[in-house]
Copies of this chain bind each other. A is one copy, B any other.
């Protein structure tokens, strides 16, 4: 029953992928059960299981107990994208990064911010606005609110030295995040900061992060025109 003894889960995965790519198994098709595949490949069921789980995680297979495993109808659904630290992102492109803090204050947040975090709008938060540069060109305008009751230690940090995001990411466990991406026309203020003209299309990321159920920070990132976010599947 053996092909040529495929006995690592990686090779099982590769072989199953091959059959999908070469359309031996078509989208929507049922594929043999784990026991039969194990026999065919000459390996243990656990090994097949590991491979199939990996492929299911990637969205290439769909599995249900008793019902069995089938080739996913729409294989490419999930893309993983990396949320970079701005400094590293700039440096990876071979640029020189620096940033300057435009504002740093402890004030009561607007209702829109407080409510999105599920916090009272009467408690002061840290408000940081800063501009990131790549090779001395404006790259990113960042408008951030930080929950001081969760990360009080940030008060003692020199944010001119280290970017708030980078500090947070290294000093606070962040377990949950909520991100949205959109396009916006640059406001007059944004245009001035990013050295472009009002109305230019700007790529915007809005991100809120929690540690467990406690909100940590909310930030709006407005990238200079021309920015592209890239990922592979």
Contacts and interface: CB of A to CB of B under 8 A. Distances in A.
A65 interface: no
A186 to B, nearest CB: 8
B27 A171 contact: yes
| Candidate in A84, A176, A182, A225 with the most chain B CB atoms within 10 angstroms | A182
Interface residues of A, number: 59
24 contacts: A20-B173, A21-B173, A21-B212, A22-B212, A27-B170, A27-B171, A73-B170, A74-B169, A75-B174, A76-B174, A76-B209, A77-B83, A79-B179, A80-B81, A177-B232, A178-B232, A179-B230, A179-B231, A179-B232, A181-B203, A181-B229, A182-B183, A183-B184, A185-B185
Interface in A184-231: 184-185, 199-204, 209, 211-212, 223, 225-231
A175 B75 contact: yes
Interface of A: 17, 20-23, 27-28, 60, 71, 73-85, 166, 169-185, 199-204, 209, 211-212, 223, 225-233
A183 B180 contact: no
A79 B80 contact: yes
A179 B233 contact: yes
B232 A176 contact: yes
Given A180-B231, A181-B230, A185-B200, 5 more contacts: A27-B173, A75-B174, A77-B84, A80-B81, A181-B181
A202 to B, nearest CB: 6
B21 A211 contact: yes
A180 B228 contact: yes
A228 B207 CA distance: 12
B77 A82 contact: yes
Nearest to A73: B170
